[in-house]
Chains A and B, each alone.
Chain A
Amino acid sequence: MDTLSASKYWPHVSPNEFLENMNNNINEPLRIHEGNNTNFCSYAALSYLPLHFDPLGYAKNMVDLYRNGKVQYGRVLLTPSPEIKEAAGRLAFKGELDIRPADQIWFLTLADHFKGYLNFFDRHFDMGDENGFWAATNFSKFNRMIRALFNFKVKAKGSDLIRIRTDDLYTYLKEKLQTGTVALFVNNMTLYQKDHRVIKPGIPTHYIILEQIDEVSNGMINITYWDYGALSLQQVTRAFLERLIFGVSHCTLKKSRKHAP
């Protein structure tokens, strides 16, 4: 698609910027970026699935959402509120997300529609809420969103508070990667150290996509994961891996339907 007329539903998103963003997402799916200091990591992480397995369906649905201000995506009718339509295209100081208005539409719409217990006290969007509890995603909400939106089966292991328990986490992850896409619910303070406190809260707040995991010669483990618009390879210990991961979502394409929604 080369042209698209301006949408009355999204007054701050021009069709050219929208299409440019969509083209970038489809041509370089790993570049999708949740933005700096937002709580959009879950929405960006789950976007990995349609961008890799059903880019056409994703593009059609996004164009519908832009044109009509709503869309039937999978099993859900996404009908963003007027505040969301007014905010999309105006999020600023988020780094790469500043120039990705289609992603702003997508993340805001998902956060507006799907609610979990973390969103209980802030259900109404005001500017700035993208950084707070309004956009937060607990583990069960994350899995629910994938099941509702995409043609994927999700087997989830883990929780919001207690670390995942397996006999051998490395082997477990390695096996899961061979049969599907693996999303990890991780402690962000462990993955990206932000201060030098000795005692840190052991709470998961971040979602990443695991691409590869390999044991290397010195007993360390190389994990390759998608996060913040890029792939990273990090060398970690087994203990670090166990401290890091609270949830594993193993996503496999459903066989019953030939076409993704």
Chain B
Amino acid sequence: MIRTAMVGLGKMGLSHLAILRAHPALEVVAGCDSSAYLTDILSKYSGLKCHADFDRMLDEEKLDALVVATPSKLHATMVEAALKRGLHVFCEKPFVLDVADGQRLVAMAEAKGLVNQVGYHFRFVGAFKEAARLVKAGVLGAVHHVRIEAFGPVVLRPKGATWRSAKSEGGGALYDYACHAIDLVNFVVGAPAAVDGVVRRGIFSRDVDDEVYCTLRYADGASGQLSVNWSDESFRKMSTKISVWGTHGRITADRQECQIFLRELHPALPDASKGWTVRYTTDLTEEVWYYLRGEEYSAQIDYFAESIVKGRTQGENTFRSALEADRIVSMITGQSVGNPPPPGAQAVRKGVLARMFK
């Protein structure tokens, strides 16, 4: 059994905790949150040993792995503390707020040979996996444009005082919605080299973006458009759609289906004919051992556990891969920083946050 602890028991944290506790290879030995409300209930009703102090939990528990689902500004220090102790780490998205912190953590995880994964669960959604597979196989020919959209009903009136409404804490639609959208672009067509035409505005929020738009630029001249708005009540829940245009056709994928229009047939899609082919989630989804909210949440945790068992440190959603999304977020916010160092290289720079918490 992989002795695992969980820090951050908010909405996402509880969902992870439920999945972790249902996993046959994981033993959740402790949880940690600063809210006594939650830890009181959990320890009393679910028998989970709970800590209020993160460092103390790491000191006292004998752990193999840590799952981090705290507010984004805390990720870097917690991930670092866990890596120092030699723990495999699964961290919620966005990975870090400061790219320099991320570079250091990528280097540390890779140097220590630890499993490192970030919760970009769209990479475990059948329809998006299929889109990525087909684009990588060259089904679309030369890709010249990508459009990524994420809409949903989160901030619908001028109030709200959680960490998600504080810019310095990784709040706003940029960190909550756009980073998912960016990672999905990176997954399906690869990371853009630059961004421009950035628009970030609060619609209802005073301090953070409720909408983010920008143009994505690729080295080969291909382009993209990102449109994110978390103040759109016409969507029942977060809804993300990616469309990719190439010389041989186009693909549009969302959580439910992958629609493909082909001008030329391709061996990667043997059953397709010219024109439209639609593949649905019912065909594309692999069964999971435990279902809560969507197969992808379980699948990513299962992948993490499997990585630990197999010693797979260069799999899907590594820190290095997630840092690509953070790097693009920092381009959008105008604080462009270079690429992460290659595997094995030592980090050279410490981030502001890391220094603050030292």
Partners in one complex: no
Seen from chain A, the residues whose Cβ lies within 8 Å of a Cβ on chain B are none
